[in-house]
Structure 1
């Protein structure tokens, strides 16, 4: 399987039209059609469902498109990295993932300083869940990531960021517990709750309570807190989360109440161990190290 074949397939899948894809690829439509037909013959499966003027993927090849995206991204990244190193000066592009957390502004500050010092540097910020970002970092699609502990990531090195993230309960202002100044373990009994679907977070909460979560009334789980704001507002459940992920809530409708005893976790910059980093990524890591490494 050649990169050229994957690029042709991926472009047609994105454009959903041979004519538009051919223009993007700067080749003729008959050439593109022939290449796709030969690729289909090589794989032994049809790649597209042809309906009127639009194409769609067959069920069998959605995986191929996802894998093609990863391979083409890595190929482009490798070309950029080789070019950067051959030039011998700091320029180029890198990607960093970031979860919902208060320390996202720490990342912004570091990127601002980096681009100011090296105007030819560009970057891509990828937001998502810890699991999604960790997976992309593991596969080499991301160079760096800002994640929230607790983590089960033995293959990653980490730099702890300055502000610890405070855990608490996000509640509707109409809730009977909205006036509390702290939430103790027993306060959670009988309350409809929304919690993270990450097993590491659930284990941490069980240690904090000194009881299994099965004793609680958990009505749902989530991976991104943004998706449950309306559920909290409408009192479907109160959400156990970090304060830094609630900065964009609509004031006057929801309240964040810290847990007691205090429960705090760190945000960390992580990168893959033993990976040969580009000069640009090494510079980013060095700046975080100089600023925050204990």
Structure 2
């Protein structure tokens, strides 16, 4: 016998009226009548008799109401005990590394839900480039991380996040290239560039452009976009980055131009395969898995 049917029956018994019970349960009257008939069929006996003032419980109905009250009360108490136990269990700390990307909003969304469900949990967010974040992860200084592909994840369990990151050049708004809608490999000839110091990103650019590292005019490297923004604005160099790195904080004197052919990569949630995780961290990973796996 389903708990749902017991709740329906008990509410009808309390209200002594199908219409009032249906309104209280937020179901339609035909649906509730059909469920009541199904319950009576299961039990092989009528539970109510219709009289002028409404529904009256039969002898079998009186017996079931007393049992239903006990069962529903026990169910409610059990659910509350598990809810209390969950709140007591999850009162730890989560340390998360995160790159500059559109998926930073994904992390914020998941943390908002998590701390709402587990208000005793505290968290720390470490923002940096993927290589620095993985170093922190390997040392055990953070529990898990959101990294930007391309990145080597051999040591990690991974979950790919669905929002793609678009690569392009950030250029000065008054630069000649700013008049274009996209950047082609031929546009890079002789152009001063700032790129990530990560070898994976440098290979991404050379593979896309067909130019060697030596043929590219790389004047500087960086790990976070914040400090290169004024250099771009003053036309010291254009900076290779993803659009999400400057979302909602791009200076008016710069412009992001996507690469063509387009390069789009994903962010991945990672954690060490060989590390025993705390219950809090495990549960936080489950939130991502439930949302995106």
Tell me which residue corresponds to 2:51. none
How big is each residue's C-alpha offset from its partner over 1:213-244, in whole Å with a ceiling of 9 and x where there is no partner? Answer: 22111111111111100000000000011000
Tell me which residue corresponds to 1:280. 280
Tell me which residue corresponds to 1:227. 227
* Structure 1 residues 101 and 136: alpha-carbon distance in aligned structure 2, compared to 1, 3 A threshold: same
Q: Secondary structure at the match of 1:282?
A: helix
**Structure 2 unaligned regions, length at least 5:** 1-84
CA distance, structure 2, for counterparts of residue 177 and residue 128 of structure 1:
29
Tell me which residue corresponds to 1:142. 142
The Cα shift of 1:210 comes to 2.3
**Structure 1 unaligned regions, length at least 5:** 1-84
Confirm or deny: 8 A CA contact 2:229 2:251 kept in the other structure. Answer: no
The Cα shift of 1:248 comes to 4.4
CA distance, structure 2, for counterparts of residue 146 and residue 91 of structure 1:
23
Task: Spell out the pairing of 1:116-195 with structure 2 (5 A cutoff).
Answer: 116-195=116-195
Q: Secondary structure at the match of 1:266?
A: strand
The Cα shift of 1:211 comes to 2.4
CA distance, structure 2, for counterparts of residue 149 and residue 108 of structure 1:
20
CA distance, structure 1, for counterparts of residue 157 and residue 274 of structure 2:
9
Confirm or deny: 8 A CA contact 1:165 1:243 kept in the other structure. Answer: yes
CA distance, structure 1, for counterparts of residue 248 and residue 205 of structure 2:
24
Q: Secondary structure at the match of 2:270?
A: strand
User: RMSD over aligned Cα, in angstroms?
Assistant: 1.5
Confirm or deny: 8 A CA contact 1:229 1:249 kept in the other structure. Answer: no
CA distance, structure 1, for counterparts of residue 137 and residue 127 of structure 2:
12
How big is each residue's C-alpha offset from its partner over 1:219-273, in whole Å with a ceiling of 9 and x where there is no partner? Answer: 1111111110000000000001100001244442100000000101111111000
CA distance, structure 2, for counterparts of residue 89 and residue 193 of structure 1:
50
Tell me which residue corresponds to 1:51. none
Tell me which residue corresponds to 2:261. 261
CA distance, structure 1, for counterparts of residue 201 and residue 143 of structure 2:
24
The structure with more radius of gyration: 2
Moved over 3 A (4+): 248-251
- Return the TM-score normalized by structure 1: 0.68
- Return the TM-score normalized by structure 2: 0.69
CA distance, structure 1, for counterparts of residue 140 and residue 249 of structure 2:
33
CA distance, structure 2, for counterparts of residue 192 and residue 210 of structure 1:
17
The Cα shift of 1:274 comes to 2.5
CA distance, structure 1, for counterparts of residue 192 and residue 274 of structure 2:
44
CA distance, structure 2, for counterparts of residue 212 and residue 244 of structure 1:
26
Aligned residue pairs total 208
